[in-house]
Amino acid sequence: MPGPPPKRSTQRRRRNQPEGGAPEVVSICGKAVKPPAEDRTWHTLAKAWYRSLKDSGQAKFYEPSDWQAARFCAYVMTRHLRDHEDNGAPLRAGMIETIWSMMGDLFTTEAARRRARVELVRASGATPEPGQGTVSIIDDYRDDLGLGG
């Protein structure tokens, strides 16, 4: 979805369906995916970002290919940051944009999730354990289709 990210559903005034109705939901049941460990040689920022994915709500929907994409993003991040720190190379806007785009493809930013019409909501009244956020729109679609959660 091009343009600025839409507002969260709680901030929207209109509650009508988007053009074309609700998106089609494909349900796939698979086993839980254990994220691969981070590489010890990665830059500190890349390691911290990768570790944060493990505690993010969207991570419970990641497939092995998504984790490999995250590993590649951390590798690219490391190469660019180390080149800057070790060789004095400038941080290039094009490379930062590429890394940011890779992060967006993994729904690691609020804007990327809103553009895809996915909202993470925390359990009300409680401090959730890491990884315990829910993806409300997917849960709503499952309920509408009678698939349960």
**Nearest-CA neighbor of 49 among 58, 35, 38?**
38
Specify whether the CB–CB gap between 46 and 108 falls below 8 A.
no
pLDDT in tens, the chain (149 residues): 567 766 666 666 665 666 655 555 445 566 778 999 999 999 999 999 999 999 888 888 888 999 999 999 999 999 999 999 999 999 999 999 999 999 999 989 888 887 877 777 776 655 545 545 556 666 666 677 776 65
Q: What is the DSSP letter of 107?
A: T
Provide the number of structural domains found in the chain. 1
- Tell me if 58 is assigned to some domain: yes
In a domain, 122, yes or no: no
Considering the domain boundaries, does residue 92 fall inside one? yes
77: containing domain: 39-117
- Residue 113 inside a domain? The answer is yes
- pTM exceeding 0.85: no
Q: Which secondary structure element, helix H or strand E, spans residue 121, and what is its range?
A: strand 120-121
Segment 52-55 long-range contacts (CB within 8 Å, at least 24 positions apart): 53/106, 53/108, 54/130, 54/131, 55/130, 55/131
